[in-house]
Structure 1
Amino acid sequence: MNRIDTHHHIVPPVWADALRAHDYFGGQATPVWNPEAAIDLMDELGIGTAVVSVGRPGVALGDAAETRVLARAVNEYAAGMVRDHPGRFGFFATLPLPDVAGSLAEIEHAFDQLSADGVILLANYDGVYLGDPMYEPVMAELDRRSAIVFIHPTAPPGPGVPGVPPFSADFLLDTTRAALNLVRHGTVGRRPHLRMILSHAGGFVPYAAHRMASLTEGANGHTVTREGFLRDLRTFWFDTALSANPFTLPSLLAFADPSRVLFGSDWPYARGDNAQYFTGQLDEYPLSAEQRVAINRDNALALLPRLSQGSLTAG
C-alpha cells in the first residue's frame, strides 16, 4: 500500500544512553531498536515512508544545557537516517522544552539546517500543558513557519494507579487535556497556520468533544462558544496508532474531518504484535477505496508533499 506512517518512533543510541544514565523507564522499558529493524517492520506493514520521532519522556532529563545538547544530538541522528535511507524516512524534530529560548534556537536549526518535516511536542512538560501562555513564543514561531506539530502524550501530572502503566489509559487523557487546553487558551484560533496531529485517535477527543465544548470555559478572557470549540477541535489531525478497531474508528471517523486522519503504527512502543494487530484491524475495517487510500497515504501527502516520491516508490 505504500503507507505513510506519521507515528513511528526511533531510539537513537545517544538517547537510550541518556535514559539509562538518568534511570528513566517510566513503567516501560526502552525497546531494542535499530534502523534495519525499523525498515523490516515497514516492509512487513506496507509502509513506504515513516516520519520518525523520539517519544516520551523527550529530552528534558537533566539541566537546561544537557537538554539542549541531547535535543540537538537526537535531531542530528534523525536527519542522518533521512539522508542514509532516501525515501524511507522523514522526521519530526525534538525541542528542549520547557526551555523556551533553547527551543526557539532548535527550531531554527532543525528547519533551516536539517530540513525537519515538523516537530514533536509532548502534551505536557512538568505538568504544564500545551496551550499555556509560557509556550506562546514557541507556538508563534511554529505558526510563522506553518509547521506540523505532532503532539504525543506522556505521563500526566499526579500519581498513577498502582499496577496500571500510564501508557495503557492515562496517555489518552494526556492528549485530551492538551487538545482542550490549546482550544480554551485560544492557541488554535490565534495560530491558524499550525498543523497539529493528535496521537492515538485524539485520546478521548472524538468521543467527548461535545461534553468538553459544553462544559469548558475559555482562559485569559478568551471566549469559546460551543460551536467554536467543536470547530477548533476538528482542525486537528488524528492518527490511528493503537486505535484502529471496530469500536474506536466509528467515533473518530464520525468526528474528524475525513482528510485529517493519518496512519500510525506506534512502533516500536506498540509492544509485541500490536503494530501488526492494529494495522490489520484498519485493513479489515469497512472503508471505501478512497477512504482507505486517504488514511494510508493521501492525507499524509497533503501535509508532507515532499514525501511523495519516496512513499510511492519505496517498500
Structure 2
Amino acid sequence: MKIITIEEHYQSANVSKKMDEINATANPEQKQTNKAGLEMAKNFLSSTDDIEDVGERRIKFMDEAGIDMQVIAYGNGNPQTLTDAKAAIALCREANDELASMIRKNPTRFAGFASLPVADPMAAATELERAVKVHGFKGAMLAGTFEGKFFDDPQFLPIFAKAEELNVPIYMHPSIIAKEISDYYFNSTEWSPMLTATFASAGYGWHMDVGIHVIRLILSGMFDKLPNLKIISGHWGEFVPYFLERMDETMLPSMTGLKRNISDYYRNHVYITPSGLFSVPQLQFAIAEMGADHVIYSGDYPYLIDTKSREFLETAPISDEDREKIAHLNVEKLLGLDE
C-alpha cells in the first residue's frame, strides 16, 4: 500500500536569517508575531536539522516510517506573516524556489505547497500561479490570520479565486493567535508562561482558531462564489466535524443567507487529515462524519516524528477500501499526483 502524507514541513536557513534581519527593524507588533512563530518552532524542535533537510535525512525517516511521498509546506516562521508586502513577495518567492529545487532532486518522494505573500493578495495569487505552473506545486498553505483579519475578508478573495482557477486546494493551518485572545482564554497566574503558550497554541487554542477560520470561510459565502474551491484542514478538522449537526440546527440558511446547510459545504469542499494525531476513535469518527473520500493522511513532520505511521493505518479497524483511499487514492486525485 502506498502512503502519502501532506502536512509535512520545511524551513529555509536563508529565509530564516533574512526574517531575523527584518525582525530587527520591524515595528513592535510585527516583531512580536515573527518572534512568536520562530520561538514556537524551537519549542517543538531540538534543532533545525530535520526541518531544513529535504533530502537524505528526511528520506531516511520516510523509509523507516513506510511513507512513500511527502507533500511539503513551510513551517513556523513563514514569510507569509510579513506585513511589508515587498519583503513578503521576495521571501515567499525565495522560499518556494528553494523548496522546488530540493523537490526536483527527488520528485517521486516529494511535492510542495506554496508560501504566499498575503500582504498583497494579488501578488499572492500571482505567486500561487507561478508556483503551480513553473514549479509544479500542488496548492498552498495559509497559516493563521493576517493583521487581525481572517481570510474570509473580501480583500483575500483573489487568492482563493486563483486556487479554484488552477484547481488546487488551500491548506488552512494553525498559527499563533492574537495576544488579547490568548490572554483572555489561556493565561492564568496559577501556571507558567510556558503552559499558557502551549495551551494557546498546539495544546488547544490555535486548533479552535483555525477551525473557526474554516467555518468563517463557509459563512462568508466563499463556496457559493467559488463552487469548485477545495480546502484542507488538519488535526481531524480542528474540532469542526464534531459540531456540524449543531451548526446546521442553529445556523439555518434562513439566517446565514447561504444556499445550503453548513455541513453540506463542509463535507463537499473540505478534506481533513490527522496531522500525526494517530487515534483510532478519531479516525473512525472522521470516516463516519465526513466519509472516507474526504480523509487524507498526514504526519506533521518534523514537529511530530512517528515511525509507526504506516503501522497505524495498516492495523486500523477500517475497511481495506477506506484504507487505500486515505493512504493515497484521495490525495492523488485531489492534487493530481496520479496524472
TM-score computed with the length of structure 2 as normaliser: 0.82
Structure 1 runs not aligned, ≥5 long: 310-315
1:312 aligns to what? Answer: none
- Aligned amino acid, residue 266 of structure 2: L
1:28 to 41, 57, 70: 41
Give the C-alpha shift of residue 124 in structure 1. Answer: 1.8
Q: Percent identity?
A: 24
Q: Does the CA contact (< 8 Å) of 1:241 and 1:278 recur in 2?
A: no
1:83 and 2:104 are equivalent in the alignment: yes
Q: 1:128 to 1:93 in 2, by over 3 A?
A: same
Helix, strand or coil at the partner of 2:249: helix
Q: 1:130 to 1:251 in 2, by over 3 A?
A: farther
Counterparts of 2:232 and 2:67 in 1: how far apart (Å)? Answer: 19
Q: 1:277 to 1:213 in 2, by over 3 A?
A: farther
- Give the length in aligned residue pairs: 303
Helix, strand or coil at the partner of 1:167: coil
1:213 and 2:248 are equivalent in the alignment: yes
Q: Does the CA contact (< 8 Å) of 2:84 and 2:119 recur in 1?
A: no
Q: Return the structure number with greater relative CO, CA threshold 8 A, min gap 6.
A: 1
Structure 2 runs not aligned, ≥5 long: 24-34, 187-192
1:302 aligns to what? Answer: 333
Helix, strand or coil at the partner of 2:176: coil
Counterparts of 1:92 and 1:231 in 2: how far apart (Å)? Answer: 26
Give the C-alpha shift of residue 280 in structure 1. Answer: 4.4
Counterparts of 2:41 and 2:104 in 1: how far apart (Å)? Answer: 30
Counterparts of 1:19 and 1:40 in 2: how far apart (Å)? Answer: 29
Helix, strand or coil at the partner of 1:56: coil
1:238-297 residue CA offsets vs partner (Å, 9 max, x unmatched): 112133203322321111131111110100111xx4x33666444432011111111111
Give the C-alpha shift of residue 214 in structure 1. Answer: 3.2
2:295 aligns to what? Answer: 261
Helix, strand or coil at the partner of 1:6: strand
2:209 aligns to what? Answer: 174
Q: 1:134 to 1:57 in 2, by over 3 A?
A: farther
Q: Does the CA contact (< 8 Å) of 1:103 and 1:138 recur in 2?
A: yes
Higher strand share: 1
2:5 aligns to what? Answer: 5
Higher helix share: 2
Pairing 1:207-246 to 2, within 5 Å after superposition = 207-216=242-251, 223-224=257-258, 228-235=261-268, 236-246=270-280
Q: Does the CA contact (< 8 Å) of 2:66 and 2:310 recur in 1?
A: no
Helix, strand or coil at the partner of 2:261: helix
Q: Does the CA contact (< 8 Å) of 2:129 and 2:162 recur in 1?
A: no
1:20-56 residue CA offsets vs partner (Å, 9 max, x unmatched): 4434524330643212221111111211111110023
Q: Does the CA contact (< 8 Å) of 2:40 and 2:76 recur in 1?
A: no
1:43 aligns to what? Answer: 63
2:90 to 54, 69, 72: 69
2:171 to 139, 150, 158: 150
Q: Does the CA contact (< 8 Å) of 2:284 and 2:318 recur in 1?
A: no
Pairing 1:174-193 to 2, within 5 Å after superposition = 174-193=209-228
C-alpha root-mean-square deviation of aligned residues, in Å?
Answer: 2.4
Helix, strand or coil at the partner of 1:232: helix
Q: Does the CA contact (< 8 Å) of 2:67 and 2:310 recur in 1?
A: no
Helix, strand or coil at the partner of 1:94: coil
